[in-house]
Amino acid sequence: MRYLSAEAFRTALEERLQRVAADGDSPSLGRLRKLVVFERLLARLLIAAPDRWIVKGGVALDLRLGDRARTTNDLDLARRDSVEAATADLIAAQAVNLDDYFEFTIDRTELLGDADEGAAVRYRVKAELAGRRFEHVVVDIGFGDPFPADPDLLTGPDFLAVRLRRAIRETFEHRSSHALPTKLPPPPDGWTIPYRKIAREIEIDPDIAAGYRSAAEFIDPVIDGGVSDSARWDPRRSIWSVEETSPNMG
């Protein structure tokens, strides 16, 4: 779904995070907000300076273990080059536009530890959404640490076709009301006016035909078998992608 304004997106995002946090088995609202910022920042870093960042610490554990990972308030990164190069890449990342309405301001603060013994540098990051502060986070970047093995490539949370296909199939099997269609059925005529009202409230296109086309582009390839189980949804291009090894976080 493409929101028509940053404010509409912020409202929808915050409501979504509050609903997830209300689940007793989910992370706290504060942690969810920070994870969103980490993910959006990493997406920019991978575009501004691909292959130069190594994620470590709590966020690395979160990517591996999900909710089983410890809570973290900062993003720990490692580099094989210099403080100057890292700072330049962070500045470049601020200018990356991913059409997600987030804006980042990154400031270098202090040196952590001895520069001769694998020092780290701390950066403070302000994430803004709809012209207002969304969250402050800390980024610590280490230099000079040994890397005994090549880092793993991990992909952040996304829509994987096999998961969506399984969820749809299990829902239809549980309800046993009718067979699973191979195409998303068009909305009934009675939905047009209610849809227009809701769409205007959340500032998306009120044309139900446009909404149906967007939904069909997402659902149809999954239920008709047009994409493989390994396909991933690319929200920026609104397509299912089979580039399984892409490091794209967003």
What is the domain range of residue 184?
Answer: 161-241
Instruction: Identify the domain boundary among 82, 117, 143.
Output: 143
88 is a domain residue: yes
Q: How many helices (H) and strands (E) does the chain have?
A: 7, 7
Least confident of 124-128, 146-150, 223-227, 240-244: 146-150
Structure tokens at 231: 């396909």
Does one domain contain both 193 and 114? no
- Please state, in angstroms and as integers, the Cα–Cα distance from residue 179 to each residue in 188, 218, 228, 229, following that order: 18, 20, 21, 21
217 is a domain residue: yes
Does one domain contain both 118 and 225? no
113 is a domain residue: yes
Does one domain contain both 221 and 123? no
Does one domain contain both 183 and 110? no
- Pairwise pLDDT comparison (126 vs 65), residue with the higher score: 126
154 is a domain residue: no
Check residue 225 and give its pLDDT: 86
pLDDT tier at 165 (50, 70, 90 boundaries)?
A: confident
Q: In angstroms, rounded to a whole number, what is the distance separating the alpha carbons of residues 170 and 149?
A: 41
Least confident of 12-21, 35-44, 62-71, 144-153: 62-71
Check residue 104 and give its pLDDT: 98
pLDDT tier at 28 (50, 70, 90 boundaries)?
A: confident
Check residue 69 and give its pLDDT: 45
Does one domain contain both 132 and 17? yes
48 is a domain residue: yes
Question: What digits encode the pLDDT tens for the residues 229-240?
Answer: 778 777 667 788
Which whole number is the average pLDDT over 40-44?
Answer: 93
Percent pLDDT > 70 in the chain is 78
Check residue 94 and give its pLDDT: 96
Q: Is residue 245 over pLDDT 80?
A: no
Check residue 105 and give its pLDDT: 97
**Average pLDDT of the chain, as a whole number:** 81
Instruction: Identify the domain boundary among 93, 112, 143.
Output: 143
Does one domain contain both 130 and 15? yes
Does one domain contain both 111 and 169? no
Instruction: Identify the domain boundary among 90, 116, 143.
Output: 143
Does one domain contain both 101 and 23? yes
153 is a domain residue: no
Does one domain contain both 11 and 120? yes
Does one domain contain both 34 and 104? yes
Question: What digits encode the pLDDT tens for the residues 103-144?
Answer: 999 999 877 655 444 578 999 999 999 999 999 999 999 887
Which whole number is the average pLDDT over 146-155?
Answer: 61
Check residue 220 and give its pLDDT: 92
150 is a domain residue: no
Burial string for 11-42 (b: 16+ CB within 10 Å, else e) reads bebbeebeeebeeeeebeeebbbbbbbbbbbb
Q: Is 137 exposed, middle or buried (0-12, 13-18, 19+ CB in 10 A)?
A: buried
116 is a domain residue: yes
Say how many domains are in the chain. Answer: 2
Which whole number is the average pLDDT over 22-42?
Answer: 86
Check residue 85 and give its pLDDT: 94
Q: Is residue 243 over pLDDT 60?
A: no
Does one domain contain both 138 and 17? yes
Token match 């191979």: residue?
182
**What CATH number does residue 72 fall under?**
3.10.450
Least confident of 45-54, 104-113, 216-225: 104-113
Does one domain contain both 83 and 165? no
Check residue 246 and give its pLDDT: 34
**Residues 246, 69, 158: CA angle, nearest 5 degrees:** 30
Question: What digits encode the pLDDT tens for the residues 168-198?
Answer: 887 788 778 888 899 999 999 999 998 998 8
